[in-house]
Structure 1
Amino acid sequence: MELPVFYAPDIRPDDMRYTMNEDTSKYCIQVLRHENGDQVLLADGRGQKFTAEIADDNRKKCVLKILHTDTIPAREPALRIAISFTKNTSRIEWFLEKAAEIGIHTIIPLVSQRTEKEKIKAERLQNILVSAMLQSQQFYLPVLEAPQSFEQVVNNSKEAQQFIAHCLPEEKKTLQDTMQAGRDTLILIGPEGDFTPEEIKQALSLGFVPVSLGNTRLRTETAGMVAVTLMNAKQ
């Protein structure tokens, strides 16, 4: 049976004991009904995996004894996605959850000319990413960057591979046929209504390669999930 994983962002690699916060303690002891002597895993979100034993099953301040620590190798290459957030918050939250479960290094909220939602509730979205990391038994928390303008992203990108998925009727190869394995990658996913022709032209002039994600027109969050899936499948 797999051990449950709990998030411990403030734990240090040399800690011998760790006290869960009240919310996590309540979930571990009262909801999951763990007790003294049970083993659990802790993740700091930065690749450290702690195997621990419950020493004090207090439902408000559960104390753990750290048994041993492992460093999980970082996934390489780094896969990043810059995606315009939708006006419907639940749709982009769904995307974040699935992207974290599938595997993504960085998510950049992209503010393009047609983006409908520029402000984000960072704390709520961070909690969704944490939950997805724990659910999928991973030990690296995806990086959720602050919103960036289209110009910022395309001008500052230094990835080995840079793609832009758009819907204009021009010749494009599919992402799976264009992407090369083993190289850091960034893909841009536009808003409802797509990128403007001017934005596409700007990205292409800076070395971004136009790609297709399939034969159908996808919603923003669906396009994002397809992109993350295809990037992971290529590695």
Structure 2
Amino acid sequence: MARFFTKPDPADLQAGRITITGPDVNHITNVLRASKGDRLVLCDGAGTDYDVVIDEISRDRIVAVISNTGPSMTEPPVAITLFQGIPKADKMEYVIQKCVEIGVTRIVPVITSRSVVKFGSARDAEAKTARWNRIALEAAKQCDRGIVPEVAGPVKFDEALRLAEGHGLKLFPYEEEKEGSFTKVLQDHRAAMAGGEHGRTAGQKVAILIGPEGGFDPDEAEKAAASGFIPVTLGPRILRTETAGLVVASIVMYELGDMGDPVKIRNSGSADKQPGK
């Protein structure tokens, strides 16, 4: 079923309907060729889905009646924040798109000592961040996310470490690390959660720290470890910066999240069912 993100008006919700405006109107009417009586899924971007039936269509808006409301069934139980050292060219856009598909909750671009990309002004950083968030939105639409993952504005390395506080598991894939087993770290974390050693919320929050091309310098690596990031090896091969975060996030999602689990399906109700009737 076609899925779109929208911010429902509280008054509309009280009346059991949602009004769609903006570019999605054209997509629904002219691309999908939808008509009155067709069903859609609308998501508020914060984890709530609305199954709706189109009731009115005009040139600039669509009014749909809510048939069912419930939590999104596509969001994982683990919240991953990727702290990504900003790579060159358009690699950051690739990382954002693919991480949203995998299920990452938040992406924080990090400026490190070896970062090649520099922002000439605050306005440049804001423009780039706006573009990154548009990419996240489009990826969220395409892969049926229940939220639109946030791409934060670029931060310096020390600020990234501060933002990572409060995560129950902090992973630091490091090319100089030869013994820290990624597999064992995940196994130990899962066992600790099962034993109640982590608070439920903190235990479900995972931070991943990835360096740019050239990696982190030794001082940054020491700071990361001192702040609670666990250095791990990803094996005998060196992964590119745009690959490493995707690999780590995928493995975490498989081991601690819902990747590979049976698909959960929420009862969408009947097409003619309306709230209060």
TM-score (norm 2): 0.77
Of residues 140-149 and 47-56 in structure 1, the stretch that sits farther from structure 2 once superposed is 140-149
2:94 match: 94
**Partner Cα distance (1:28, 1:176) in 2:** 45
- Between the aligned partners of 1:214 and 1:14, the Cα distance in structure 2 is 54
Out of 185, 196, 216, which is 1:195 matched to? Answer: 216
Kept after mapping to 2: 8 A contact 1:52/1:65: yes
Superposed, 1:1-235 pairs within 5 Å as 3-12=1-10, 14=14, 16-72=16-72, 75-89=76-90, 91-118=91-118, 119=125, 121-156=128-163, 157-168=165-176, 170-179=177-186, 180-181=189-190, 183=203, 184-235=205-256
Provide the residue aligned with 2:275 in structure 1.
none
Q: Tell which structure's C-alpha radius of gyration is larger.
A: 2
The two structures, once aligned, show a CA RMSD in angstroms of 2.0
Distance 1:95 1:19, change over 3 A: same
Distance 1:203 1:62, change over 3 A: same
Unaligned runs of 5+ in 2: 119-124, 194-202, 257-277
Which deviates more, 32-41 or 77-86?
A: 77-86
CA deviation after TM superposition for structure 1 residue 15, in Å: 5.4
Instruction: Return the alpha-carbon distance in structure 1 between the equivalents of residues 228 and 68 of structure 2.
Output: 46
Query: Which one-letter code corresponds to 2:81 in the other structure?
Result: R
Say if 1:176 and 1:231, in contact at 8 Å, map to a contact too: no
Alignment: residue pair count: 231
Of structures 1 and 2, the one scoring higher in RCO (CA 8 A, sep 6+) is 2
TM-score of the superposition, structure 1-length normalised?
Answer: 0.90
Find the residue that maps to 1:125 and give its secondary structure. helix
Distance in 1 (alpha carbons) for counterparts of 2:183 and 2:52: 41
Q: Deviations over 1:90-148 (max 9, x none)?
A: x2212111111111121111111112225362222222212222222221221222222
The runs of 4+ residues in structure 1 deviating greater than 6 Å are none
Identity of aligned residues (%): 26
Give 3-state SS (helix, strand or coil) of 2:231's partner. strand
Residue 175 of structure 2 aligns to a residue in which SS?
A: coil
Deviation larger for 3-12 or 185-194: 3-12
Residues of 1 paired with 2:148 and 2:22: CA distance? 21
- Please tell me the residue identity of whatever aligns with 1:234: E
Deviation at 1:11, TM superposition (A): 4.5
Q: What is the alpha-carbon distance in structure 1 between the residues aligned to residue 14 and residue 250 of structure 2?
A: 36
Secondary structure at 1:117's aligned position in 2?
coil
Mapped partners of 1:65, 1:231: distance in 2:
38
Taking the aligned partners of 2:251 and 2:106, their CA distance within structure 1 comes to 16
